[in-house]
Amino acid sequence: MRTLFLAIISIFLLTSCGSSKTAYKKPASNKTDRIIQQAQAFAGTRYKFGGTTSRGMDCSGLIYVAFQKEQIVLPRVSRDMATKGKRVKQSKVEKGDLVFFRTNKSSRRINHVGLVTAVNDGQIYFIHATTSKGVLTSSLDERYWRNAFVQARRVI
């Protein structure tokens, strides 16, 4: 009986210490993962035109800051970012690539950028800052983003 009691207490002690509300994030092992992790640290940050901090962020500011942490200097404006690196076909997009959009139908200029965080079964996920919801991850399969998509570029 004593053995059973000790076994139950041991199981309780081993399992009770394992729960925590704070998840441990393993440090990213390569440059692309570190850039993505840096951008994801701003998830939920409100939108602010010209913003580059946790107090407010715009789409190009998010990309600019994330890449800057890895000593990769990009232009500050999305349409200028769209001239850097190598153009990539949508079917060849990888995590770490930049995706560019034209969301203003009355203009032919690129005015939005996102960072690809994952590609799963051909579905492209990207983090970006929107005026309505701030910094979040979206899918290129969403109709709005699919219709606004202009190009993808690889700068890493």
Active site residues: 59, 112, 128
137 vs 126: CA distance, rounded Å: 5
| Residue 69, helix vs strand vs coil | coil
117 vs 143: CA distance, rounded Å: 19
| Residue 47, helix vs strand vs coil | strand
61 vs 110: CA distance, rounded Å: 15
What sign results for the dihedral spanned by CA atoms 48, 144, 146, 142?
positive
**DSSP per-residue codes, 1-38:** -HHHHHHHHHHHHHHHTT--SSPPPPPP-SHHHHHHHH
